[in-house]
Structure 1
Amino acid sequence: MAVRRWLNELRLMPPSLTTHRPAQTIHSQENWMTPSHGTLKINFDASFVYGDSSNRIGIIARNEQGKVIYAESAMLGPAENALHAETKAALHAITWAASMNVTKIDIEGDCLYLINDLRRNERSFASCGLLIDEIKNLAKTFSLCNFKFVKREANKVAHSLATLSYNMPVICFTFNSLPYNVASLVLLDLN
Structure 2
Amino acid sequence: MEEYKATNKSMASTATQVEGRGTWAPPPENVFKVNVDGAIFTGQKATGVGMIIRDDKGRLEAAMSKKINAPLGAVEAGAMAYETGLMFAKDIGIQDFIIEGDSLVIHHALCEASTPPSSVAAVVQGMKEICREFCGVEFSHVRRQGNKPAHLLIKHAFGIVDFIAWIEENPYFLEQALIYDVTSSSTF
Shorter-chain TM-score bucket reads 0.7 to 0.9
Deviations 1:115-172 (Å, cap 9, x if unpaired)?
Answer: 0001118874431211111111111222211111100111010001001111123111
Does residue 76 (structure 1) correspond to residue 68 (structure 2)? The answer is: yes
- The 8 Å contact of residues 50 and 81 in structure 1, kept in 2 or not, is answered as no
Deviations 1:21-74 (Å, cap 9, x if unpaired)?
Answer: xxxx65332111110011110000012144642111110000011110001111
- Deviation of the 1:106 alpha carbon: 0.3
Q: How many residues align?
A: 166
Counterpart CA distance in 2 for 1:43 and 1:140 is 19
Does residue 171 (structure 1) correspond to residue 164 (structure 2)? The answer is: yes
- The 8 Å contact of residues 108 and 150 in structure 1, kept in 2 or not, is answered as yes
Counterpart CA distance in 2 for 1:129 and 1:61 is 25
Which piece of structure 1 moves more, 95-104 or 105-114?
95-104
Does residue 109 (structure 1) correspond to residue 109 (structure 2)? The answer is: no
Give the secondary structure class of the aligned counterpart of 2:23. coil
Counterpart CA distance in 2 for 1:156 and 1:57 is 13
Which residue, 12, 21, 34 being the options, matches 1:29? Answer: 21
Name whichever structure is richer in strand by fraction.
2
**Cα separation, partners in 2 of 1:141 and 1:161, compared to 1, 3 Å:** same
State the partner residue of 2:59.
Answer: 67
- The 8 Å contact of residues 41 and 48 in structure 2, kept in 1 or not, is answered as no
TM-score of the aligned structures, taking structure 1 as reference length: 0.79
Counterpart CA distance in 2 for 1:70 and 1:176 is 7
- The 8 Å contact of residues 73 and 164 in structure 1, kept in 2 or not, is answered as yes
State the partner residue of 1:160.
Answer: 152
- The 8 Å contact of residues 124 and 133 in structure 1, kept in 2 or not, is answered as no
Give the secondary structure class of the aligned counterpart of 1:55. strand
Bigger relative contact order (CA 8 A; separation at least 6): 2
**Cα separation, partners in 2 of 1:30 and 1:177, compared to 1, 3 Å:** closer
- Deviation of the 1:175 alpha carbon: 5.4
Q: Which aligned segments of 4 or more residues in structure 1 are displaced greater than 2 angstroms?
A: 25-28, 49-52, 121-126, 174-177
State the partner residue of 1:14.
Answer: none
- The 8 Å contact of residues 108 and 148 in structure 1, kept in 2 or not, is answered as yes
Give the secondary structure class of the aligned counterpart of 1:60. strand
TM-score of the aligned structures, taking structure 2 as reference length: 0.81
Counterpart CA distance in 1 for 2:143 and 2:113 is 23
Identity within the alignment, % = 21
**Cα separation, partners in 2 of 1:37 and 1:116, compared to 1, 3 Å:** same
RMSD: 1.9
- Deviation of the 1:101 alpha carbon: 2.9
State the partner residue of 1:185.
Answer: 177
Which residue, 89, 93, 104 being the options, matches 2:81? Answer: 89
Give the secondary structure class of the aligned counterpart of 2:46. coil
